[in-house]
Amino acid sequence: MRFRDRLYQFMQGRYGPDQFTYFLMGTYVVLTLLSMFLRFPVVYAVLNVLSYAAAIYMLFRMFSRNIYKRQAENQMFLRFWAPFGRFFSLQKRRVKEGKTSRFYCCPKCRQIIRVPKGKGKIQITCPKCRNSFIKKT
């Protein structure tokens, strides 16, 4: 328990991991794997430097005591990442519900609409703009 108590005492007041830290960790893993497979000298060196930089910055963020700045960095990252996150979330939902539903885009407002599969030709009304259009499910 002595080591555990010292580790707990060391981590008190430190920032710890957040979404940006997890992104940096993933970046480190991807760059390291790429550098293992791409053995061209210049590409290998650049990928190694970038992966080590991501790892060092990740550790710096986790052990930092300046919580306010790390939270501000994480918020800036989340604002940047939000459109990508929504896109991947939508793609995941489409795959998950693909057997029972079809997804159509409203021609007027571009809203994505989910309708049940296998109903033949139906009239779809957009819940956002009330535009009606006919599609085959």
Mean pLDDT of the chain, nearest integer: 90
State how far the Cα of 84 lies from the Cα of 92, in Å rounded to an integer. 12
Look at residue 132 and give its three-state secondary structure: strand
Q: What is the pLDDT, as a whole number, of residue 70?
A: 92
pTM: 0.67
The reported pLDDT for the residue numbered 84 is 93
pLDDT for res 98? 84
Positions in the chain short of pLDDT 50: none
